[in-house]
Structure 1
Amino acid sequence: MTVTPSAAYAVAMIGIATFSCMDAFMKGLSIEIGAYNAMLWRSIIGLAMSIPMFAIWGKGWPGRSTAIIHLKRSVAAGISVLLFFWGLARVPMAEGVTLTFLSPIIALFLAALMLGEQIRRRTIGASLLAFAGVGVILSGRAGGEGGPDALHGAFAIIVAGMFYAYNLVLLRRSALLAGPVEITFFTNLVFVGLYGIAAPVAATVPDAGQVLRLSAAAGLAIISSLALAWAYAHAEAQRLVTVEYTAFVWATILSAIVFGERLLPLTVAGAVLIIAGSIIAARGRAAPAPATEAAA
């Protein structure tokens, strides 16, 4: 069955919406038990959930080259999400998400360098339009509220965005070599190994209520991972990276409902530009997969 770029984009949007709901759980948990423990236990629970899926629907242990790609992508993602949730515990959720919008811009050029994708003028223009929306939103926070702790949190999120951009590009390559179930399983496996290094000195046991929320976060993360892996298997990275901008809309809604954060007029104006850029980028015909991908 032929999958249209629009269908892949729609599935990616579902993945981002689900991921945003998980962000809300993880922000609260990161405040309570710290970003490290929140990610450690979410990854352990996520691995327990994904093992049966891999055993039933997986295609067996991958070859060496594919396993290396899984490892590199998952390590980059693991560093990214840890820094992101550490920062998100220190800045408002909506503003924290806007800072991650630097990563799709970086990913556009990484996709050209690493995957041989041709960057279309439409995609560049759409990304610049969306990035202008980020600038409008950030201008509403020019007062510098939150002090040094918020500044440190913002810096951590910007660095997280750089790692996430690398993850996005490798996700496209992984998705062409392995199915969504395999990608989800290896993501959790590598996360547990990565975070487990510091467990003897840094891990603390969550209480029953926190375990429930960690389980919900892990389930949402798996759903999001499956959706995004499927989408990246059916469309170019440069076409899908702009769907990341829709996370701001969900973050704004969730931050107001869960954390009582106020929505600024400039935030609305910026969101309009972000959504417009995402829609423009999603239109047009898909380019064929580069030869480098097919040979990987």
Structure 2
Amino acid sequence: MRGPALLLAGVVLFALLDANSKLLSGEYGLGQVVSIRYAVLLALLLAARAVWRGAGGPVATARPGPHLLRASSMMVSAACFFLAFQRLPLAEGYLVFFTSPFMTLALAALVLGERVPAAAWRWCALGFAGVVLAVLPRLGGGGGEAEALGYLSVLVGTLAFAVTQTVNRGLRGEPGAARILFWPSLLGLLIYGPLAARDWVEPPPLDLAMLAANGVFAGAAVAATAAAFRHADAARLGPWGFAALPVSFLMDLAIWGHRPDPAMLAGAAVVVLSCVMSERAARQRPRREWRDSVGGQGIPGGKRWLPSAPKGSGAAERTAESGKAP
């Protein structure tokens, strides 16, 4: 459960980041909000490494290409989600975001060559059906150009997020969190710093604290999601991204007083069910493969099944693991 637990922590932290950014977006521009986020994140990382030498592991990497791709996709998603939540309620933006498990699973299969079990696709499909159930009544709402731009922004941001998650999976062998925080923060300052200088608005102390809090939320969320993909593959983690739906409901209700209608609640119930059942399928899959091997078709990995010990002795189970006769 470590991978799903870390991903759920990342989901909550990302929701806090998006809600805080939405609150700030009425007064401050994209460049200022995002550049302060990355400045604080970079300062925290450097301070930690000054106090604890080498905290987070090495910054240098032998794979600059994937890190550049990852940092670039993070820059795109940061801008797109900021623009989307300027125009949409948090929960509505997240409804579009819930196409990300499909994108992540597809990229993991196509780019990383991971084996995606059929059960994971089925439960993701059920979760997507829950999203459709929730969003369908809003499709004919006539929200105008601003709402259309919001939906387009969150769709592009979702694709960029899926790319980030896929690269996280490809970089899972690199130890430590310093690389995954340092390089995106540096790139964020280079890209968004000039925009912040051009459109700077002097914030009062409370707003400055909220702007700085984004750096804490972002750093913790990135570290949690990257760690999650080191402990489990995309097929197991993908459907758990749907948990952001009830989190976004609570944020909308607590901060803006937006109450979910029956269609959104029904869709959320379907989404949560898909998360629970996909985790159950992931736990049962190794057990099912082992039982199939007992039937005489050979154990996973191509080794022959050679039972020769009495049932209940424990020797047959050890044989299944080693591929050798007891």
- Relative to the length of structure 2, the TM-score reads 0.81
Q: Tell me the CA shift for residue 138 of structure 1.
A: 0.6
Which residue is equivalent to 2:296? none
> 2:6 is aligned with what amino acid?
V
Find the counterpart in structure 1 of residue 311 from structure 2: none
Structure 1 residue 144, shift from structure 2 partner = 1.8
1:104 counterpart residue number: 101
Q: What is the deviation of 1:92?
A: 1.0
Corresponding pairs, count: 281
Report what 1:182 is aligned to: 179
Aligned partners of 1:269, 1:278: CA distance in 2, in Å? 15
| Secondary structure of the corresponding residue to residue 175 of structure 1 | coil
Maintained 8 Å contact 1:98/1:248: yes
For residues 270 and 58 of structure 1, the distance between their equivalents in structure 2, rounded to whole angstroms, comes to: 39
Gap runs ≥5 in structure 1: 1-5, 288-296
Partner of 2:228: 231
- Could you say what secondary structure the match of 1:42 adopts? helix
Q: 1:181 to 1:64 in 2, by over 3 A?
A: closer
Q: Which structure has the greater CA radius of gyration?
A: 2
Secondary structure of 1:26's aligned partner: helix
Correspondence 1:122-141 to 2 at 5 A: 122-141=119-138
Letter in 2 for 1:208: P
Gapped runs of 5+ residues in structure 2?
287-326
Question: Within 2, Cα distance between the matches of 1:105 and 1:219?
Answer: 29
In 2, distance between residues paired with 1:271 and 1:83? 24
1:257 aligns with 2:259: no
1:28 matched to 2:23? The reply is yes
TM-superposed CA distance for 1:129, in Å, is 0.5
> Which structure has more RCO (C-alpha within 8 Å, separation ≥ 6)?
1
Among all aligned residue pairs of Structure 1 and Structure 2, give the percentage whose two residues are the same amino acid: 28
2:69 to 68, 72, 86: 72
| CA distances 1:69-112 after superposition (whole Å, capped 9, x unpaired) | 22210110111121111111101110011111122211111001
What amino acid is aligned across from residue 2 of structure 2 in structure 1? A
Match of 1:171 in 2: 168
Cα distance in 2, alignment partners of residues 166 and 118 from structure 1: 18
Paired residue type of 2:88: V
1:155-207 CA-partner distances (Å, limit 9, x unpaired): 11111111111111001122322323431233322222232354443444433
Match of 2:59 in 1: 61
Select between 255-264 and 46-55 the one with higher mean Cα deviation: 46-55
Residues 242 and 277, structure 1, Cα contact 8 Å, conserved in 2: yes
Q: Given the alignment, which residue of 171, 190, 193 partners 1:193?
A: 190
The aligned amino acid for 1:23 is D
Distance 2:137 2:254 in 1: 20
Aligned CA distance change for structure 1 residues 280 and 124 (closer, same or farther; 3 Å): same
Q: Distance in 2 between matches of 1:36 and 1:99?
A: 24
Q: Is the contact between residue 245 and residue 274 of structure 1 (CA under 8 Å) also seen in structure 2?
A: yes
Mapped contact 1:54–1:182 kept (Cα < 8 A): no
Task: Tell me which amino acid in the other structure corresponds to 1:31.
Answer: G
**Bigger mean CA offset, 212-221 vs 112-121:** 212-221
Answer yes or no: is 1:115 the counterpart of 2:112: yes
More helix by share: 1
The amino acid across from 1:27 in the alignment is K
The structural deviation recorded for 1:280 is 2.2
Per mean C-alpha deviation after superposition, the further-off stretch among 25-34 and 248-257 is: 25-34
Change (3 A) 1:52 1:112: same
Are 2:74 and 2:161, in contact at CA under 8 Å, matched by a contact in 1? yes
Aligned match of 1:291: none
Q: 1:92 aligns with which of 89, 97, 106?
A: 89
Shift of 1:118: 0.7
User: Alpha carbon RMSD of aligned pairs, Å?
Assistant: 1.9
Decide whether aligned partners of structure 1 residues 54 and 270 sit closer, same or farther in structure 2, where only a CA change above 3 A counts: farther
Q: In structure 2, what is the Cα distance between the partners aligned to 1:149 and 1:261?
A: 19
Say whether the 8 Å CA contact 1:133–1:274 is kept in structure 2.
Answer: yes
